[in-house]
Amino acid sequence: MRRPSRLRGRRKQVRPQTSPPALEAASETETAIIAPPPEPTEADLRRQWRVGERIQEICPEALRVIPRLSRNGFRTYLCGGCVRDLMLDLRPKDFDIATNATPRQVKRLFRNSRIIGRRFRLVQLTFQDKILEVSTFRAAIDPPSDSPDLLILQDNTFGTAEEDALRRDFTINGLYYDLECGRVIDFVGGLRDLDRRIIETIGDPWVRFREDPVRMLRAVKFASRLGFRLADDVYSAILDCRDELRKAAPARVHEELLRLTNMGGAHDAVRLMYRTGLLWVMVPELSDALDLLGAAEDQTAWTAYWAMLRNLDAATRAGEQPSNARLFAFMLWPLFKDELATGRPKADTEDPEDELGAIALRLRMSRRDAFIVRQIMYAQERLGAPKSKGGGRRRRRPGGAGFAQREWFGDAVFFFRARSLALGRDDLVQAYDAPVDEPRSD
């Protein structure tokens, strides 16, 4: 019979400051580094204090995580996009936390945690309906002197809060919020650029984009989503470094492409990618199709494409949650324009030589998303059928009840409405104003 242990059921205590020697040495100088910034105005203080009040409303979980880390001797802040959005009076999608605790030290403090990532190791804390990510302050990494390639493959060198801010991508993402004193900590001029509404890199943009080419897509995402403009040097660096995007992991490009089109900024994002040549690097077929539309004597299709993306953005900002397939269908419409005009869209989705198949492989689209994109296009002819087989009155749901029960039918009708409105065919939309039955899965 086993002897009962007195320690059973007790929470393990984590001793503070058990960091690696390099991290402890950095922490000794951190007090001097995090000197109070120039005295803010009273309006600035009120604005920053409201950030803390909004955190209590939006993310009470952060108020449980940060104090626990602080009680165990670790310097901990909210960081990145959530601070940026709160300062702009927007509702953050995610709340990220940065600390001088290592991933293992964070994991020992929270039972609802797991360490993830290889290139960038961090800790995920899982709550009932929210996931918080806790990262350790990182230091900049010097590339090998004998390599001309600046691409970062490992990023797990720990450092101080200021070093962590300096290695982030853009100034507006280099902000920290100290919950204890209710102040924004700004090492990089992010507050200034928020007021100027401009996207600036931290450091030389030519170097930062070569370190991580996906940052160019992120610059487009923030500019289009927030209504900011790219700084002149950032725009020039994208023009010079756009071919570096071929070195990025396709999965990251796929993820970022969806992010920059699903937050109500698809129109501005696609237009900016087209102007900078990023679209040509990722989807040359679409860029060439847009060249033809823009050069055509009849500008109807060119105008309609951008109007469709604005319709998509309006629906997204109104609360619609677009599927990945819907986003790709809107983005790739110029490739299907001629097929839809002739009424003979191709339905084959398995041919690897098919244009959509080649794009799907390059962008790492799932087979399901590629299939639904094709079905959305294939459905347009049936949705636009002007009369029933017997003639006379327009059918309410062309294709029959089975057609309306397909899982992609809602996306197809949404696309049909947006396309019809963009082409000035309001009459085609009226047949689909009534609610549709719940779709079934194939």
Active site residues: 94, 96, 169
E strand map for 359-426:
none
- 3-class DSSP assignment, residue 130: coil
Angle value at C-alpha 256, between 251 and 259, nearest 5 degrees: 130
**What is the rounded distance in angstroms from the CA atom of residue 222 to the CA atom of residue 174?**
14
- Residues in Cβ contact with 174 at an 8 Å cutoff, skipping those fewer than 6 apart: 80, 165, 166, 168, 186, 187, 188, 190, 202
SS3 state of residue 423: coil
In angstroms, the CA 333 to CA 284 distance is: 14
Beta-carbon contacts of 189 under 8 Å, excluding residues fewer than 6 positions away, are 171, 200
- CA dist 172 and 81 (Å) reads 8
- CA dihedral over 329, 333, 335, 341, signed as positive or negative: positive
What one-letter code names the amino acid at 306? Answer: W
Distance CA 198, CA 344 (A): 45
Burial degree of 42 (CB within 10 A; 0-12, 13-18, 19+):
exposed
User: What tokens does 91 get?
Assistant: 């509702």
Pairing state between β 96-99 and 131-136: parallel
Spatial distance between the Cα atoms of 110 and 123, rounded to a whole number of angstroms = 10
> Cα angle at 419 between 416 and 421, to 5 degrees?
105
